[in-house]
Amino acid sequence: MARHIPGPLYYEQIGATGTPMIFLHSTPDDHRLWMFQTAHFSAWYRTIAVDLAGYGRSPAPQDGVSMADQAQACWELVDRITSGPIIIQGNSMGSEVAMHMADQRPQRTHCMILSGCGYLPDIREIQLKGKQAYRDEGIARRRTAVLFHFSPKMRAMPHVQHYADMVCALNNAGTLESIILMNQALADAKPEFYPRLDVPTLIITASEDFTRESAYKLQSHIKGSEIVCLEGAGHACNFEMPEAYDRLCIDYLTKRGLFPG
């Protein structure tokens, strides 16, 4: 069992056949951040959307939890489904978990598709400020933080408001402390492992994403990685522009010989 995570992670799978494609969400979201992709890509893959420890229906992490712990817990989940290689998609915090997964088992990682991501030292202060904001405001901060991941023009859209309400409906007694622990884990994470990542990687950033400039710096630290930018989208570009995001994924997977469609 993964360190600092007392139990298996919750996940939802769509599709009974095909290469497993695992989806890892940002904080403070849960697996439903990927609802468009899990539905769409299940036509060709077994799509597996995970609640990382402390979010949704997964157990709350313990003090000292790290990004590597979350990655180990994800591999434990994957091992119950397949012994073969997988495709990993991650947004924001989920992109850090994805990179740790690829670092832990590169031979099991066909490729990574990362979004809402950046070079860790650039976003350390953001995580520490977020941690303090949750201490000051409590769990009410979660809804504001979910909406912040969208471009300003999208935050008032009814379906985005509805999504934020759905995520916050799963608040429980351990959610607040879990989010605080993961903000600290992101702030504590070190980028030394980036240069040794050796799996095909696509980074999808967006013009309205606050990590956009930092995403290009991250790309320079991962050998062989590629980066593209979605114009007009925010941090949660996969949710905001699912058709454009999915097309970029399919183009990349096709180029790598990993798309069966």
Angstrom distance (rounded) from CA 120 to CA 133: 20
Model confidence at 75: pLDDT above 90: yes
Task: Tell me what the mean pLDDT of segment 235-260 comes to.
Answer: 98
Q: Which two tokens stand for residue 129?
A: 């400020």
CB 59 within 8 A of CB 2: no
Query: What are the boundaries of each domain within the chain?
Result: 10-255
* pLDDT tens profile 170-189: 999 999 999 999 999 999 99
**Of 33, 211, 237, which is closest to residue 154 (Cα–Cα)?**
237
Angstrom distance (rounded) from CA 41 to CA 39: 6
Task: Tell me what the mean pLDDT of segment 83-87 comes to.
Answer: 97
CB 48 within 8 A of CB 42: no
Model confidence at 124: pLDDT above 90: no
Q: Which two tokens stand for residue 132?
A: 């303090």
Model confidence at 1: pLDDT above 90: no
CATH fold of the domain at 10-255: Rossmann fold (3.40.50)
Residue 212 confidence (pLDDT): 96
Task: Tell me what the mean pLDDT of segment 137-153 comes to.
Answer: 97
pTM for the model stands at 0.97
Peptide bond into 158 cis (omega under 30): no
